[in-house]
C-alpha cells in the first residue's frame, strides 16, 4: 500500500501564494499529496488544491480576485475587511461548496474565540470554513459556525503539521512567515505593531511544528513581501517554487518511497 503524504500550509496573507509554487514543484516531481491541512492563507490555497485546482489555476485565482485588498475594507463592524465580499469572490471557484466533494482530504484550522480552543473543520461549507480560518483578528470579522465564533487558526496553530501527523505517513511543512529582525521604522503604526505581534506569537509554535515534518520549507525571501498586497504574486510563486527546488533530493526521495 502506498504511503500517504500530507502537506501543512501556514497562514501569511498574500505570502500564501508561495505555497502554490511549492505545490507546482511537487507536481513536477510526481509527489502525490493525499491530505492537506491549512491555516488562513494556507486554508485558501489548500482548499482550492483539495478541490482539484492545479497550481497554475490557484495562482490565477489570486490574480483575479482581491481577497485581501483594501477594496474590501469597512469601518462599522467587528473587523476591517468585509467578510461577505470575501466569500462572494471565493465561492465561484468551487463547483460545490462542501467538503464531501473534495478530491483530497482537507483539514482547515480555526480558533474558537470564546472557548479559547483550536478547531479543525472537516465538513460542511468549504468557503465558510476558509473564511473562519482566515479571520485575522481585528482585520476580518469573526465567523460563526455551529454556534462557535471562529477567528484565524494561526492564533494557536499557524502550521498544522501535528494535525496531519495523526492521519498520514509523511508530513511536509510549508511556512511562508519566517521571522527576522525589523527596524523601528517598520513598526511605526498600529497595523504594523499588530502584525508583528501576531507573527512573534506564532513563532514558537511554528518551531515546534517542524518536529512533525519530514521536510520543512520556509523561504526567507517571503518575509520581504507585504501580507495584504497582491502586486507580487508571480514573485511569491517563484519564491515557493525555488524553496521546494532547494529541497529536491529530500522531496524526490519521498515521492519514490510513496510509489513503492
User: What whole-number distance in Å separates Cα of residue 33 and Cα of residue 67?
Assistant: 25
Q: What is the distance between the alpha carbons of residues 187 and 32, in angstroms, rounded to a whole number?
A: 41
Residue 8 contacts residue 173 (beta carbons within 8 Å) = yes
Coil, helix or strand at residue 36: strand
Active site residue 152: yes
Which of these, 75, 63, 143, 159, lies nearest to 111 by C-alpha position? 143
Query: Is 100 a catalytic site residue?
Result: no
CB neighbours of 7 closer than 8 A, spacing ≥ 6? Answer: 22, 23, 26, 33, 35, 36, 37, 46, 164, 171, 172, 173, 174
**81: Cα separation from own chain's centroid:** 18
Q: From the candidates 34, 112, 129, 152, give the one annotated as an active-site residue.
A: 152
Of 34, 40, 129, 133, the catalytic one is 40
Query: Which amino acids are annotated catalytic?
Result: 40, 152
Amino acid at each position: 500500500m502506498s504511503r500517504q503524504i500530507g502537506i501543512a500550509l501556514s497562514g501569511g496573507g498574500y505570502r500564501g501564494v508561495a505555497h502554490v509554487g511549492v505545490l507546482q514543484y511537487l507536481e513536477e516531481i510526481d509527489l502525490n499529496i493525499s491530505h492537506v491541512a491549512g491555516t488562513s492563507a494556507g486554508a485558501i490555497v489548500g482548499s482550492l488544491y483539495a478541490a482539484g485546482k492545479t497550481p497554475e489555476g490557484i495562482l490565477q485565482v489570486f490574480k483575479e480576485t482581491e481577497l485581501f485588498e483594501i477594496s474590501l475594507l469597512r469601518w462599522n463592524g467587528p473587523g476591517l475587511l468585509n467578510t461577505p465580499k470575501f466569500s462572494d469572490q471565493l465561492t465561484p471557484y468551487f463547483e460545490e461548496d462542501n467538503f464531501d466533494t473534495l478530491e483530497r482530504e482537507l483539514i482547515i484550522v480555526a480558533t474558537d474565540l470564546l472557548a479559547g480552543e483550536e478547531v479543525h473543520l472537516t465538513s460542511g461549507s468549504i468557503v465558510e470554513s476558509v473564511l473562519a480560518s482566515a479571520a485575522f483578528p481585528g482585520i476580518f470579522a469573526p465567523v460563526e459556525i455551529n454556534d462557535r465564533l471562529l477567528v484565524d487558526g494561526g492564533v494557536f496553530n499557524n502550521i498544522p503539521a501535528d494535525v496531519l501527523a495523526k492521519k498520514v505517513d509523511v508530513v511536509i511543512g510549508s511556512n511562508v512567515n519566517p521571522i527576522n529582525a525589523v527596524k523601528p521604522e517598520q513598526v511605526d503604526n498600529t497595523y504594523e505593531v499588530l502584525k508583528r505581534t501576531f507573527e512573534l506569537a506564532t513563532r514558537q509554535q511554528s518551531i515546534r511544528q517542524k518536529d512533525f515534518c519530514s521536510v520543512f520549507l520556509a523561504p526567507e525571501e517571503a518575509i520581504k513581501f507585504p501580507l495584504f498586497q497582491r502586486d507580487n504574486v508571480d514573485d511569491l510563486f517563484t519564491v515557493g517554487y525555488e524553496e521546494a527546488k532547494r529541497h529536491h533530493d529530500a522531496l524526490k526521495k519521498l515521492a519514490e518511497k510513496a510509489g513503492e
